[in-house]
Amino acid sequence: MTALPPLDHIPADILSAADYEQRAADHIAPPTLAWLAGGSGDEHTLRANRSAFHDLRIVPRLLTDFSKACTRVHLLGTPLGHPILLAPLGHQRLLHADGETACARAAAATGCGFVCSTLSSLSLEDIAAATDEPKWFQLYFQPRRNDTLALLRRAEAAGYRAIVVTLDTPVQPLSRRAQRAGFRFPGDTPANLAAFAPPLQVALEPGQSIVLHGMMSEAPHWDDLAWLIEQSRLPIVAKGVSHPDDARRLRDLGVAGQIVSNHGGRALDGSPSTLSRLPVLRAALGQAYPLLVDGGVRSGTDIFKALAWGADAVLVGRLQGYALALVGALGVAHMLKLLRDELELCMAQAGTPTLADITADCLVGDVTC
């Protein structure tokens, strides 16, 4: 089955940000849809990320004064109109010809943040040039330090404001869903990596494991991160944190902010939902430390719950992909506006005029992991 082309208007039946998921399905080739939607292993963590949000309920409060209402937030020197960022999502031209520039423009138009992936279809420079608004760059450690350093220097030169280093996927096989659907990555190397020599072949001794001695030999260690922090002129944000001991060690090493993330259920299957880890990590890091979360965010109500549970802001992954595939930049901007409207409606009914008012006291229930 071939995919329908993207639309040039927002369909009238999209009434919520979450509607983009179902509505976009016919506009994405089935193997690409399986790659976008799927999670690792048996998809336990993919499902847990979503169900955790259903475990919490918001208690409405009455007669609150909203004359000083505000949703603005400052994260590591980046001002945002709303506590929402587009998560780094690689290979966006698989979803729409405009790729990442469409999402960067949509984020800029709606006062939301944008994080450019190392694996972006377009070059980090072209994406940076798409808007004047502040953006962050997501960095994957490369097998050679010089290549990692080259990416860092290019991101600095292009004007990115922070480096998001993703740490939770030392190995990442293609999901079974994507494999069964026959998904293949495009043959060409992602734009940002095109100048790098191919990775060195690891020679395994007889009896050694392809995963443990082969793939893991290229995975970064704590000293690589310490080196990166030393090299960087920009604040470093660690993405993929779940354990409080890691969180404290990252903070003590000089990491300026952290993202509670399990790669949207695409890393270790069977790991806990990100929402269930938030209070633990907030307690470990203290109230003032910048802490973001992603995984399973599909509505403004979800954002409210994440903020109440300890996050300063959320990132949105798959919804961005669905909106991009359906209506390009216009769709992503509309999806972000819907998320914003849903969050504001929720704040109005919960009696919380500012983000600081959104606390755990607003919620009942507990999150099963």
Ligand X SMILES: Cc1cc2nc3c(=O)[nH]c(=O)nc-3n(C[C@H](O)[C@H](O)[C@H](O)COP(=O)(O)O)c2cc1C
- The residues of the shown chain that bind ligand X, judged by CB under 6 A, are 36, 49, 87-90, 117, 119, 138, 166, 239, 261, 263-264, 266, 294-297, 316-318, 321
CB of 315 to ligand X, least distance (A): 6
Closest-CA residue to 249 (of 271, 230, 280, 225): 225
Q: Which is nearer to ligand X, 71 or 138 (CB)?
A: 138
3-state secondary structure (DSSP) of residue 64? coil
Q: Report the residue number, 123 or 349, with the smaller CB distance to ligand X.
A: 123
Q: Hey, what amino acid is at 169?
A: T
Report the distance separating Cα 10 and Cα 184, nearest Å.
30
Q: At what angle do helices 222-231 and 244-253 cross, to 10 degrees?
A: 40
- Report in angstroms how near the CB of residue 248 gets to ligand X at its nearest: 22
Q: How far is the CB of 309 from ligand X (least distance, A)?
A: 16
- Contact between 89 and 336 (Cβ < 8 Å): no
CA nearest to 87, candidates 110, 111, 117, 108 = 117
Contact 61, 351 (CB under 8 A): yes
Q: Could you tell me which residues come within 8 angstroms of residue 188 by beta carbon, excluding any fewer than 6 positions away? A: 194
* Rounded least distance, CB 100 to ligand X, Å: 10
Smallest gap from residue 133 Cβ to ligand X (A): 19
Closest distance to ligand X from the beta carbon of 192 (Å)? 10
Closest CB to ligand X among residues 58, 139: 139
241: phi then psi, degrees, rounded to nearest 5: -90, 135
Strand (E) positions, 248-369?
A: 257-260, 291-294, 313-316, 363-364
The smaller minimum CB distance to ligand X, of residues 163 and 285, is found at 163
Sign of the Cα torsion 164, 86, 327, 105 reads negative
CA distances from 3 to 17, 28, 116, 187, 332 (A): 21, 5, 26, 20, 19
**Is residue 263 annotated as a catalytic residue, yes or no?**
yes
CB of 139 to ligand X, least distance (A): 9
Closest residue to ligand X in the complex (CB): 317
- Identified catalytic residue from 27, 82, 91, 263: 263
Degrees, nearest 5: CA angle 284-286-292: 85
**Contact present, 152 and 123 (Cβ < 8 Å):** no
* Residues in CB range of 323: below 8 A, 6 or more apart: 17, 20, 24, 106, 331, 332, 334, 335
Q: Which residues are catalytic?
A: 263
